[in-house]
Every structure is written in C-alpha cells, then in structure tokens.
A and B are shown apart, each in its own frame.
Chain A
Amino acid sequence: MNDILRPIKSVGIVGYGAYVPRYRIKASEISRVWRGEQDGNHLPIKQKSVPGPDEDTITMSIEAGKNALKRAAINPKKIRALWIGSESHPYAVKPSGTVVAQALDIFPANTSGDMEFACKAGTEAMQAALGYVGSGMAQYAMAVGMDTAQGRPGDALEYTAAAGGAAFIIGPASEALAELEGAFSYVTDTPDFFRRNYEKYPQHGNRFTGDPAYFHHIRAAVQTLMEGLNLKPSNFKYISFHQPNSKFPRKMAEELGFTKEQYTTGLLSPLIGNVYAGSSILGFTATLDAAQPGDRILLASFGSGAGSDAFSFVVTERLLQAKAKAPSTRWYIQRETVVDYTTYARWRGKIRK
C-alpha cells in the first residue's frame, strides 16, 4: 500500500463550525405514511433533520462557516480557498462557494469550486484544503461539507436523507486547535449509489451498499492510516465515521477494534439521520466539542462511488479557548421542532401548488 498523506508544512484545523436545521421528522411518521402498520422495530434511525423552507446548502454553509470564523478569530480575507462538498448544490452550474464567500467576506481573492463525491465530498474539500495550506499556497483555506439530502418518497433512503454539515478553516499547525498527523484516501470504482443527470432522486444498490462499498473502503482507509502512523485503536480518544444509519458506523467501529466509549460522542445519525457530505465531519465536530488537549481523534468518511478519506488529528491547548465561541454541535442536535409528513412534503418540494 502507498504511504500516508502528509503536507510539507504542518497544518491543522484553526476553526470549525457545525450547522443542523431546527426541524425534525420522526422515522415512525414516514413509516406511518408509506408502510401503515408494518413499521415495527426495523426503522434505521429515530428521526432525521429537515431543512426549513428557506434553507439550502448555500445558506447552511454560511451558518457553519460563520461558526468556524468565530472560533478561528481570523480576518476572513486571509482565507484563499473555499470549497464546498455536497450532492445538493442548489445550482447544477454556478458555484455555491461564490455566494458563501461573498456572505462570509472572504471574497474576492479566493478560489472556489463545488466538490462532489456523494457523502465524502466534505472530506474531499478538507483534503484539498490541507494540501493547499500545507504546500504554502495559502495561509488559510475553508472546507465545507453540507447537504440537504433527498430521498424518493417511500424509499428506504427517505428515512435517513437529512440536512446538516460542518465547516473547517485549515491553517498553520502553530495556530491549530487540532493538528493533522496524517491522512489516507482510498477510492475504487464501486457503483453502490448514484444519481444520474437531471434526476431528482438517487438510486442505490441495496445490499451492495454494505460490504463491497461502505465497509471495504472505510476499513482500507483506516487500517492503512493506522499502520502508516504506527497507531492502534486504543491510541484514539474519539472516532467519527460516516453515518448512513445507526448500525453501519457501530459495526465498522467494533470490527476495527474501537469501543463504544470511542464512537458514541460522534455518533449523531440516530437523532438527525444521514447528512451525507456533512455526516462524518459533523460527528467529528461533536468530538472536538468534547475533546481535551492531547486527545487523538480519527475521522473517516465514506462516499458512494466509492471511497473513504481517513484523518488523524491531535487536539491542542488552543481548542479550550475556541470551543465556546460558537454554538456546540450538541446544541444544534438537541434543539428540535418536530414536523409532520405533510409539512415536510411541502417544504421538500414533494408536493407543489
């Protein structure tokens, strides 16, 4: 296997911010509409987040980006790249990042482009930002993973396709709240889930999404990273894996030798669903909120198509000062206004005038 990824200059996260909309729909409510009495005990999560009628990937990226800027306390003009990973960019052609950069006062001396790699588009943006700063091209770069995921009405994905994500400002290690130790990316051509051009809803390969896709790619990325850094599971305080449901990340963590104490803090999917490109990184922000200096955190995404990015970060003293400057991820998770299926269907464009 190849060497792990490390930039020339030491880099880390100088600011992070989470965002989850306030609305939720219960899985039992979706089941009531489409399966009647046949729901029982097989629902993949308890509830999922639902974006408000005036929210999309752009507005939510601005929210998370503002939180990251509050924690970083830097001049936004020093951010020279803004990459947003999502599979729900509001436009097919016109970058989400231009609106977000203008709103966050990052513009105009920045590069910006939309990333797409299903649920790992957010960590793809992080990899690019780590490389951009680590090469010396820029002092700071912002990476966002954000989604307002759509599931076909009645489809298995409708129970979990949710909204939320996180933003990270990457900068020099000397200013970092969490320093990068190393990363590894693993990608193969595996068509487990996809959405063709002009289609509103994605298709998935049912059981094919498990072993050949999710488990194989995260396993390969995490194991290679740990071998490269000469680390074992017990060296990590927290982990956050991609969370398409409640079961997969638990099963993956336990198979790789991680304990419940390590994965529970970052496991948010039971309460908000699968926020796609924001999923593993939103869990990662919850672990940062809880972490203490010296803690090592493992982040591993999974994106259908398929691939996984794995990162090891070590928390610094600076995190303690930065945490309280923006709302915690838990606060976003805990604020909830439950809506019924009809409201959800109207807001998500499933019914129209």
Chain B
Amino acid sequence: MDIPRYWRLKDQRYRLQGTVCEDCGHYSFPPRLVCPNCKSKRQKPFAFSGKGTVFSFTTIYQTIERYQDQVPYLVALIDLEEGVRITAQLTDVDSDEVEIGMPVEMVVRKFYADGDNGPIFYGYKFRPIATGS
C-alpha cells in the first residue's frame, strides 16, 4: 500500500519541493533535515523552478511490475538550474529526439495506477520546454 508514502511525498512529487540551507544556501532535492554541505539543521522548504538540462539518459525495457505497461520509457539524469542533479522519467519525447544538454522542464504526469481499483499516483517527469507562440 503506497498511500502513506505518496501522501508524505506529494509536495516533492507535484512541485519539486526540496530544501535550501539557511546558513550556506545549498539546495537539496529530495529535502534534507541536515545540510550535506555545512551540516546545518536550518533547512527551509524550497520549490525548484523545474527547469534543467539532460545530463544523460537511457531507455528502460525491463522494469518492475507497476511500470510494465509503460515500457519502453526514457529515464534521465537532469541537472536542475539551481545546481541539483535528479533522476526522472522523460515524457512527450521519443528516444531519437533526446540529446545530452537538451533543455527540459518539469511536468506532472501519471506515475502508475495501483491496479484497477487502487489510487492513481502522480509526480514529476521532464519534457522538452514548451515555449511556443
């Protein structure tokens, strides 16, 4: 049962909410109780902008059961503009369209549904920036 875990993580998953250290300004995602840089416990919630670039990526063909319906899918290491590197799925993009260094932005998408009658879990993925006019 994933309900308690996802309930606790909802601000992280929906809004990329991490922490910023009030002493040294170090950003952390996921949020930290203690700064990994200066060991300060003065950590303030911080919502990341969601803008970043692709550091590297791969295509997943073999995965755990809850993601079986989605294969093949792309997973990338994303360098957020605040200087934090995170792992996330890519969406709205084909593997031959992805490049290292490609600018991306965070979107909320469906992670998976817990069977036919369980909850649906949502969270961050990244896609090429939608800037069009």
For A332, list chain B residues within 8 Å (CB). Answer: 132
User: Do residues B110 and A55 form an inter-chain contact, with CB atoms below 8 A?
Assistant: yes
For A56, list chain B residues within 8 Å (CB). Answer: 110, 120
Interface residues of A in 311-353 (CB under 8 A from B): 324, 327-328, 331-332, 334-335, 337, 353
User: Do residues B69 and A103 form an inter-chain contact, with CB atoms below 8 A?
Assistant: no
Which of A22, A59, A324, A327 is within 8 Å of B108, CB to CB? Answer: A59
Confirm or deny: B14 has a beta carbon within 8 angstroms of a beta carbon on chain A. Answer: yes
CA distance A285 to B74 in the complex (A): 32
B94: min CB distance to chain A, Å: 8
Q: Chain B binding site: helix, strand, loop or mixed by DSSP? A: mixed
For B70, list chain A residues within 8 Å (CB). Answer: 53-54
User: Do residues B69 and A331 form an inter-chain contact, with CB atoms below 8 A?
Assistant: no
User: Do residues B14 and A102 form an inter-chain contact, with CB atoms below 8 A?
Assistant: yes
Question: Please, how many residues of chain B have a CB less than 8 angstroms from a CB on the other chain?
Answer: 23
CA distance A105 to B48 in the complex (A): 13
Confirm or deny: B122 has a beta carbon within 8 angstroms of a beta carbon on chain A. Answer: yes
CB < 8 Å A-B pair total: 59
User: Do residues A327 and B132 form an inter-chain contact, with CB atoms below 8 A?
Assistant: yes
Question: Please, how many residues of chain A have a CB less than 8 angstroms from a CB on the other chain?
Answer: 25
For B109, list chain A residues within 8 Å (CB). Answer: 52, 54-55, 59
Contacts A54-B109, A59-B107, A105-B47 given: A327-B125 contact, CB under 8 Å? Answer: no
CA distance A102 to B10 in the complex (A): 8
Chain B, Cβ-Cβ closest to A346 = B69
Confirm or deny: B99 has a beta carbon within 8 angstroms of a beta carbon on chain A. Answer: no
Contacts A22-B92, A59-B110 given: A54-B132 contact, CB under 8 Å? Answer: no
Contacts A52-B92, A102-B11, A105-B47 given: A63-B133 contact, CB under 8 Å? Answer: no
Chain A, Cβ-Cβ closest to B125 = A54
Interface residues of B in 78-113 (CB under 8 A from A): 91-92, 94, 107-111
User: Do residues B132 and A103 form an inter-chain contact, with CB atoms below 8 A?
Assistant: no
Confirm or deny: A90 has a beta carbon within 8 angstroms of a beta carbon on chain B. Answer: yes
The residue in B108, B111, B125 that gathers the most chain A C-beta atoms within 10 A of its C-beta is B108
User: Do residues A91 and B15 form an inter-chain contact, with CB atoms below 8 A?
Assistant: no
CA distance A17 to B69 in the complex (A): 31
CA distance A331 to B131 in the complex (A): 9
Confirm or deny: B130 has a beta carbon within 8 angstroms of a beta carbon on chain A. Answer: yes
Contacts A52-B91, A52-B92, A328-B132 given: A103-B120 contact, CB under 8 Å? Answer: no
A286: min CB distance to chain B, Å: 13
User: Do residues B47 and A58 form an inter-chain contact, with CB atoms below 8 A?
Assistant: no
User: Do residues B14 and A99 form an inter-chain contact, with CB atoms below 8 A?
Assistant: yes
User: Do residues A327 and B131 form an inter-chain contact, with CB atoms below 8 A?
Assistant: yes
Excluding A59-B107, A327-B131, 9 further A-B contacts by CB distance (< 8 Å) are A54-B109, A54-B125, A56-B110, A56-B120, A90-B120, A99-B14, A102-B10, A103-B108, A337-B94
Q: Give B contacts to A, CB under 8 Å.
A: 10-11, 14-15, 47, 68-70, 91-92, 94, 107-111, 120, 122, 125, 130-133
Instruction: Give me 19 A-to-B residue pairs in the complex whose CB atoms sit less than 8 angstroms apart, sorted by A's number.
Output: A52-B92, A53-B69, A54-B70, A55-B110, A56-B110, A56-B120, A58-B108, A59-B107, A59-B108, A59-B110, A59-B122, A62-B108, A90-B120, A102-B11, A105-B15, A327-B131, A328-B133, A353-B68, A353-B69
